[in-house]
Amino acid sequence: MKIILTGGAGYIGSHTSVQLIRNGYDIVIADNFSNSKPEALRRIEKLVGMSVPFYKIDIADKEALSELFEAEKPDCVIHFAGLKSVGESVRMPVEYYRNNIDTTLTLLETMKEYGCKKLIFSSSATVYGDPASVPITEDMPVGKCSNPYGRTKYFIEEILRDVSKADPTLSIVILRYFNPTGADESGLLCEDPNGIPNNLMPYIMKVAVGRLPRLSVFGNDYPTHDGTGVRDYIHVVDLADGHVAAVAYADSHEGVETINLGTGNGYSVLDVVHGFEKACGHEVPYVIAPRREGDIAECYASPDKAKALLNWEAKHNIDDMCRDSWNAISKNPDGYPAD
Ligand code: NAD
Ligand code: UFG
């Protein structure tokens, strides 16, 4: 089966590319490098020991995408391409709606034209907003997102449900990721955020290698075991394997299915800090700072549906995530080199 990965040069896409190839799939990567670098492709090729077809295109560019489908005739698409910074989406909502929704619409039109029926979409636990209870199951209410980025994911999910209703022969899997972190154990692939990171693990990594002075822990008065925010961190290689399982599922089912990809375990900010200190062998300086607007106390997945439908479950624990994140940042303290 041939699979196009839009946004395949990014953090999750690059790890998924490797896992798909290791599982025998033919892949084609399409990316415009708006948040990634060509070096990611070279690292993927080094890891799998073969060349990987690549198209530098904007997924919203209809003509370019049609040329790609014409040339490659894919059976399935995994749609990672999108802008993903929560803070940036608050400052630049139009750019976020334009990029995330346009890429999806152009992709759906092109898939229809070329008879491509299988789609896996990168959604997010952010669509649950502030959940009434944890663990979060897929049937809990969605849509009360605290920022434009989250709303793009919610709107796209709704679009995909409408499209599936109109054509029940499509096979669409919406994956709601919890908090992806870690890296391939080789240390060749890494998360390479532009500028100062927003997310916890990339921030801790930059502090641990001395590129930033200290972490600000956003709030220690939440109703959690140590007062700091609790999240479901999931190793990116487990997440990538979840996509491999979703592709197999899409190949044998029709309709639309929404599935959480998380571990079912919640860790606090301080749990992650201390886990990372164990991995890197020195202290990670931090200060307690005010709560960050829009943050919730606790968020972790029920992984039961993923286990039942995909026969998939996360294998790595928080120590593995800290070890592999430390390995990756130690080998790439300034991210990937630019071309
Ligand atoms: P990333 O920024 O590393 O990867 C996204 C890739 O898409 C980048 O390589 C970027 O250059 C590319 N891209 C963006 N717009 C494009 C366009 N118009 N045309 C072509 N390429 C384009 O992000 P990631 O962490 O790998 O996330 C992948 C997907 O998963 C995104 O849709 C993101 O919203 C979603 N997601 C991520 C997280 C997370 O914490 N990392 C959590 C939940 C959901
Ligand atoms: N945190 C800090 N200091 C920091 C960064 C984060 O204390 O410098 C805390 C946050 O307050 C939160 C926890 O670390 O308690 C995790 O924060 P992240 O920003 O890493 O992750 P979020 O859960 O807030 O959100 C992330 C993505 C969303 C996505 C969601 C679920 O940013 O886009 O995970 O996938 F939707």
Tens-place pLDDT, residues 109-157: 999 999 999 999 999 999 999 999 999 999 999 999 989 999 999 999 9
Write the secondary structure of 62-120 as one string of H (helix), E (strand) and C (coil). HHHHHHHHHHHCCCEEEECCCCCCHHHHHHCHHHHHHHHHHHHHHHHHHHHHCCCCEEE
Interval between CA 122 and ligand 2 midpoint (Å) = 17
User: How remote is the CA of residue 106 from the centroid of ligand 2, in Å?
Assistant: 30
Ligand 1 atom 35, closest CA: 122
Taking Cα atoms as reference points, which of 308, 298, 318 lies closest to residue 128?
298
Selected catalytic residue, list 11, 55, 96, 149? 149
Residue 181, ligand 2, Cβ within 6 A: no
Nearest residue by C-alpha to atom 13 in ligand 1: 81
* Amino acid letter for position 222: Y
Q: What is d(CA 322, CA 325) in angstroms, rounded to the nearest whole number?
A: 5
Q: Which of 188-192, 263-267, 271-275 has the lowest mean pLDDT?
A: 188-192
Which of 128, 199, 225, 300 for a ligand 2 pocket mutation test, highest count of atoms within 8 Å of Cβ?
199
Question: 198 φ, ψ to 5°?
Answer: -95, -30
- 10-41 tens-digit pLDDT: 999 999 999 999 999 999 999 999 999 999 99
Helix (H) or strand (E) holding 27: strand 26-31
pTM of the model: 0.98
Closest residue (by CA) to atom 44 of ligand 1?
A: 124
Tell me, rounded to whole angstroms, the distance of Cα 36 from its chain centroid. 14
Q: Is 36 in the pocket of ligand 1 (CB under 6 A)?
A: yes
Tokens of 56: 């530098």
Q: Does the CB atom of residue 189 touch ligand 1 within 6 A?
A: no
C-alpha 220 – ligand 1 centre gap (Å) = 30
pLDDT for residue 297: 96
Largest Cα span, the chain:
56
Per-residue pLDDT band at 292 (split at 50, 70, 90)? very high
- Nearest by Cα to 153 from 167, 142, 164: 142
With a CB cutoff of 8 Å and minimum separation 6, the contacts of 64 are 55, 57, 58
Token pair recorded at residue 251: 């190949």
DSSP per residue over 122-157, as a string? EEEGGGG-S-SSSSBPTTS-----SSHHHHHHHHHH
pLDDT-based confidence at residue 192 (cuts at 50, 70, 90): confident
Q: Where residue 194 falls among pLDDT bands split at 50, 70, 90?
A: confident
Q: What pLDDT is stored for residue 195 in this prediction?
A: 80
Distance between alpha carbon 265 and the CA centroid of its chain, in Å?
18
Residue 255 β-bridge partners: 171
Question: How do residues 314-339 score in pLDDT, each as one tens digit?
Answer: 999 999 999 999 999 999 998 999 88
* The residue count for the chain: 339
User: Would the pLDDT of 216 be above 90?
Assistant: yes
| Ligand 2 neighbour 229 (Cβ under 6 A) | yes
Return the number of other C-beta atoms located less than 10 Å from residue 166's C-beta: 9
Pairing state between β 230-231 and 2-6: unpaired
* Per-residue confidence band for 67, with pLDDT thresholds at 50, 70 and 90: very high
96 a catalytic residue: no
Testing ligand 2's pocket by substitution, the residue of 122, 126, 146 carrying the most ligand atoms inside 8 A of its CB is 126
Instruction: Give the amino acid at 322.
Output: C
* Residue 196, Ramachandran bin (φ over 0: left; ψ between -120 and 50: alpha; else beta): beta
Q: Extract the tokens encoding 263.
A: 């571990």
Rounded to 10 deg, the angle between the 269-280 and 318-331 helix axes is: 60
Q: Report pLDDT for 339.
A: 81
Closest CA to 208 of 324, 329, 318, 336: 329
Residue 84, pLDDT > 90, answer yes
| Confidence band of 196 (pLDDT split at 50, 70, 90) | confident
DSSP state of 310: I
